[in-house]
Chain A
Amino acid sequence: MSKALDRREVVARLVRSRGDLLIVAGLGSPAYDLMAAGDHEANFYLWGGMGSAATIALGLALAQPKRPVLALTGDGEMLMGLGALATIGRAKPKNLSIAVLDNGRYGETGMQESHTASGTRLDQVAMACGFAWAMRIESEAALAVFAMRLPKPAGPALANIVIRAENPPRVLPPRDGVFLKNRFRASLGFKPI
């Protein structure tokens, strides 16, 4: 087994002292990882609309500039919405971070290789798109630096977190979108229509 980081431990570390962090998790394993770390009303999990975690987090960051916002996604989803990095690099929300759990694989569909396995560097793409900073994380020490910056990221920021290619047992979040939306909005003080 390689020394790459364990995805569940990475996500547990990122949310350990989450404070007022708002989180959008991409479909598949990132959503399971976030659920495994403990459900929270300020978590919004996706079950579809692949490619949208970063753009939802962008809209949220623009609407809630005083709250830190994290898009938690995987390499497969980030690759599908690569243009979003250019859109975010142009919009420049200071309160937005993106964490890409990068195992170079499509875990949900049988571990086929993604483009990051053959060299696409998402942190470099983010920098080329005008992000304030980006880092490739392969150690717990580097992860701790990213986690420390989450509350005030001075972003937009992207962390390309290299994780082991394995599928831990699924921990399924709620999949009723209306419930997730109303719960999330209520945590910010907004009522259902």
Chain B
Amino acid sequence: MPKTKSATGAAPNPWQDAIFFLLKQAKIRHVAYVPDAGHARVIERAIQDPSMVATALTTEEEGIGLLLGAWLGGERGVLLMQSSGVGNCINTLSLHANVRFPLPMLITMRGEWAEFNPWQVPMGRATRASLEAMGVLVSRADKAADVAEAVAGALDIAFAGEMASAVLLSQRLIGRKVWTK
């Protein structure tokens, strides 16, 4: 796969393009996001794709409402966020438990492998438990080779059964954040 420099200056990883391909294949129209470096490539491609609606959120739980509204209107979406955003979503996930609608979430992890910033660690540790406490199905991709299978499975189960399904994209997969040069 050709490596082109993205607008963010980082070379996209092939697994990020694989995610975008799977979103297209799943006929996803709405990409709701709070930015994260790990999602930058998918966000950029969604913004450029005329058949997609990329919506920037101020806080992650807005995306749960947006995806419910889109589904009421007959369209499919995905929510992209960082693990810290999961904490913002907890009460709003009540919407999913009661209404049931496809709610695939792709979550880039912070606060685990090689994390420099200890303030990221508490929510990183609590991410999976928080999602599971609210009834979300959680899977995880630790290596690039795991990503496509994990994402494809999460999309399939979300749309087949109006489930909430999350894929945790590990910090090791995304790589170290460089703090000093």
Segment of B3-11, B65-73, B172-180 in the binding face: B65-73
Of all chain B residues, the one with the shortest Cβ separation from A192 is: B162
B-contacting residues, A56-112, CB 8 Å: 56-64, 81, 83-84, 86-87, 90-91
Of all chain A residues, the one with the shortest Cβ separation from B95 is: A49
Least distance between A7 CB and chain B CB atoms (Å): 23
Is B42's beta carbon under 8 Å from chain A? no
Asked if residues A177 and B161 are in contact (CB atoms below 8 Å), the reply is no
Type the 1/0 row for A174-191, where 1 means its CB is closer than 8 Å to any CB of B: 000110110011001110
Least distance between B89 CB and chain A CB atoms (Å): 10
Residues of A within 8 A of B38 (CB): none
Residues of A within 8 A of B57 (CB): 83, 87
A-contacting residues, B86-114, CB 8 Å: 91-92, 94-95, 98-101
Give the interface centre of A51, A52, A55, A178 by most chain B CB atoms within 10 Å.
Answer: A55
A contacts with B: majority SS: helix
User: For the complex, what is the distance from the CA of A16 to the CA of B69, rounded to whole Å?
Assistant: 24
Least distance between B163 CB and chain A CB atoms (Å): 10
Residues of A within 8 A of B48 (CB): none
Residues of B within 8 A of A46 (CB): 95
Give the interface centre of B29, B55, B67, B75 by most chain A CB atoms within 10 Å.
Answer: B55
Residues of B within 8 A of A87 (CB): 55-58, 62
Is A50's beta carbon under 8 Å from chain B? yes
User: For the complex, what is the distance from the CA of A158 to the CA of B43, rounded to whole Å?
Assistant: 29
Query: Given that A49-B92, A50-B91 are contacting pairs, would A59 and B98 also be in contact in the complex, using a CB cutoff of 8 Å?
Result: no
Residues of B within 8 A of A55 (CB): 61-66, 69
User: For the complex, what is the distance from the CA of A180 to the CA of B58, rounded to whole Å?
Assistant: 28
Residue from A48, A49, A84, A185 within 8 A of B74 (CB atoms): A185
Of all chain A residues, the one with the shortest Cβ separation from B32 is: A59
Residues of B within 8 A of A177 (CB): 95, 98-100
Residues of A within 8 A of B162 (CB): 193
Asked if residues A49 and B70 are in contact (CB atoms below 8 Å), the reply is no
Is B51's beta carbon under 8 Å from chain A? no
A-contacting residues, B9-37, CB 8 Å: 29-30
Query: Given that A50-B91, A84-B58 are contacting pairs, would A59 and B67 also be in contact in the complex, using a CB cutoff of 8 Å?
Result: yes
Is A24's beta carbon under 8 Å from chain B? yes
CB pairs A–B below 8 angstroms (8 shown): A49-B65, A59-B73, A63-B70, A64-B74, A83-B58, A91-B55, A188-B72, A193-B160
Interface residues in chain A, defined as those with a beta carbon under 8 Å from any beta carbon in chain B? 22, 24, 44, 46-64, 81, 83-84, 86-87, 90-91, 177-178, 180-181, 184-185, 188-190, 193
